[in-house]
Structure 1
Amino acid sequence: MPILLLAAGIVLLDQSSKIYVLSRMLPGDSIPIISGIFHITLVLNPGAAFGLFEHQRIFFIAVAALMLGAVAYYVPRIPTGMMLLRWGTGLMAGGAAGNVIDRIRTGYVVDFFDFRIWPVFNIADIAIVTGVACIIFTLLKSGQEKDDSLDK
């Protein structure tokens, strides 16, 4: 259940931040927070990271649905002691759900964090990247532990 609460919290935070930005800005508007370094810039992204696969709404919704289905299947099978894997899964699922809500509702994802050296992103993107990093770290660590036990 905590994984579901984490995912729901990410969706709530993500969607409320997007609603707030949309209510105060127009697409292309940019507010400097730290001039030249960090801005809040409203971008309506019809693609994936870096603008890849623009206007492939059905594809992105299908991928998110498959991923969320896989999460629903595997979460009960994750051992309770593997907390980082559980947290990573919750973060990834919450982020994917937050972005797919945008795609279903409007056909694009609302992005607004702009560091000027990286594509504009949102809270859901942060959750996805952090979640995937936690999952990869856990899998690599557990693979290393298995390798170490074979050496003994």
Structure 2
Amino acid sequence: MSEPTTPEAPHRRLGIVAAVAATVLVLDQLSKWWAVNALDNGHIVDVIGSLRFNLFFNTGVAFSLGSGNGLGPWISVLAIGVVVAVSFGATSRVPLGAVASGLISGGALGNLLDRAFRGDAGFLHGAVIDFIDLQWWPVFNVADASIVVGAILLVIASFRMAS
């Protein structure tokens, strides 16, 4: 008599998570390097319509809220937890969820690196480099955009898993 078989849960797709996160991290850091070097001294690059590149140093949280009140290091610690939770969550078992996890992880790590090393006040007291300026939305960067797109994809993947 054979025992009933139970379907195995698919393995987490950590390779996809890692590859997407690494790609986002590299693109984010290269774009920030460009922004710091090309947009110093108040130089602004008009791209198209209301899109322009304009350098800002964000010491606060999302959308520069809380600048100057010391929330930056706490956000960095929270980001580490988010990266771990998202990377090893249930949605990383499906390709869309793994891509979403990689986008969020890469973006969180990109901004965490800024907080860790782009400041004179010590480790985790730096400023995030923001430079994509739509003029009708808060200034952001590649990491921020990746986190938002990843969050949207994560919701979609969650709904697909539930159905």
Q: TM-score interval w.r.t. the shorter chain?
A: 0.7 to 0.9
Structure 1's consecutive aligned runs of 4 or more residues displaced over 6 angstroms after TM superposition are: none
Give the Cα–Cα distance (whole angstroms) in 1 for the partners of residues 89 and 143 of structure 2: 21
- TM norm structure 2: 0.79
- Structure with bigger helix share is 1
Code of the aligned partner of 1:96: A
Q: Give the superposed CA RMSD.
A: 1.8
Per-residue CA deviations over 1:26-68 (Å, capped at 9, x if unaligned) read: 2643221125x11110011111222112242211111111112
Give the Cα–Cα distance (whole angstroms) in 2 for the partners of residues 57 and 14 of structure 1: 19
> Per-residue deviation at 1:140?
2.5
How many residues align structurally?
A: 140
Identical-residue share of aligned pairs (%): 31
Unaligned runs of 5+ in 2: 1-14, 119-125
Q: Is the 8 A contact 2:87 2:101 kept in 1?
A: no
- Relative to structure 1, the CA distance from residue 45 to residue 62 in structure 2 (aligned partners, 3 Å threshold; closer, same or farther) is same
Give the Cα–Cα distance (whole angstroms) in 2 for the partners of residues 85 and 95 of structure 1: 15
Give the Cα–Cα distance (whole angstroms) in 2 for the partners of residues 2 and 34 of structure 1: 33
- TM norm structure 1: 0.84
Give the Cα–Cα distance (whole angstroms) in 2 for the partners of residues 17 and 30 of structure 1: 15
> Per-residue deviation at 1:72?
4.3
Unaligned runs of 5+ in 1: 146-152
Q: Is the 8 A contact 1:111 1:122 kept in 2?
A: yes
Code of the aligned partner of 1:94: G
